[in-house]
């Protein structure tokens, strides 16, 4: 049986790529999805050149700002999303499972920058999600 290819946020599979160097490992997700899909783990922040331990960032309009300083990091997030888009196109991926609440991967909810060191969780999409949806990829958020 040929399984459909899908990308998945690497942190969900246990890769310690979150801003704080941790993962969101979900064995139940891996087990259920790997029966149907060939999973390709991705992380737009790591592929952009950002380090594993980094300052958390949040959306503000079309920008991504570092929470502690307000420094614009948008170019990193776009760079990582474009690199993942190349993977999606090369492997003809039509499905993505992405980490909710992330400024890159959020599908329904994203942390928004309010002021230095203050964010709010609101409805919205991360940069990678926006790019993938424009390409016709079905994107599902995972808490």
pLDDT tier for residue 1 given thresholds of 50, 70 and 90? low
Highest mean pLDDT among 9-23, 27-41, 105-119: 105-119
pLDDT at 17 exceeding the cut of 90: no
8-12, 16-20, 21-25, 83-87: which has the minimum mean pLDDT?
Answer: 21-25
The secondary structure element, H or E, covering residue 45 is: helix 44-48
Place of tokens 């594993």: 52
Distances (CA, A) of 66 to 70, 102, 131: 5, 13, 21
Please report, rounded to a whole number, the percentage of residues in the chain having pLDDT higher than 70.
Answer: 99
User: How confident is the model at residue 22, as a pLDDT?
Assistant: 80
Would the pTM of this model clear 0.85, i.e. be above it? yes
Mean pLDDT of 114-128: 94
Residue 44: CB atoms within 10 Å: 29
Place of tokens 């808490």: 143
Q: Whats the size of the chain, residue-wise? A: 143
User: How confident is the model at residue 19, as a pLDDT?
Assistant: 82
Residue 120 CB partners (closer than 8 Å, separation 6+): 111, 112, 114
Tens of pLDDT, residue by residue over 79-111, are: 999 999 999 999 999 999 999 999 999 999 999
User: Considering the chain, what is the average pLDDT of its residues?
Assistant: 92
List domains and CATH numbers for the chain: 4-54+72-99+125-142 (3.40.50)
Task: Please give the residue that has the higher pLDDT: either 76 or 25.
Answer: 76
Strand order in the sheet with 63-66: 63-66, 57-60, 109-115, 118-123
Q: Residue 77 corresponds to which tokens in the numbers above?
A: 């997030």
Mean pLDDT of 126-142: 97
DSSP structure class, residue 11: G
């Amino acid at each position: 049986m040929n399984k459909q290819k899908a990308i998945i946020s690497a942190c969900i599979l246990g890769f310690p790529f979150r801003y704080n160097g941790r993962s969101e490992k979900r064995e139940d997700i891996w087990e259920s999805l790997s029966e149907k899909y060939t999973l390709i783990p991705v992380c737009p922040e790591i592929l952009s050149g950002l380090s594993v331990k980094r300052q958390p960032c949040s959306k503000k309009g079309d920008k991504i700002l570092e929470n502690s300083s307000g420094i614009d990091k948008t170019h990193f997030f776009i760079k990582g999303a474009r690199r993942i888009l190349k993977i999606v196109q090369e492997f003809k991926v039509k499905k993505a499972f992405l980490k909710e609440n992330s400024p890159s991967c959020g599908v329904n909810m994203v942390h928004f920058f309010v002021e230095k060191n203050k964010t709010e969780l609101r409805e919205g999409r991360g940069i990678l999600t926006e790019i993938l949806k424009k390409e016709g990829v079905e994107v599902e958020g995972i808490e």
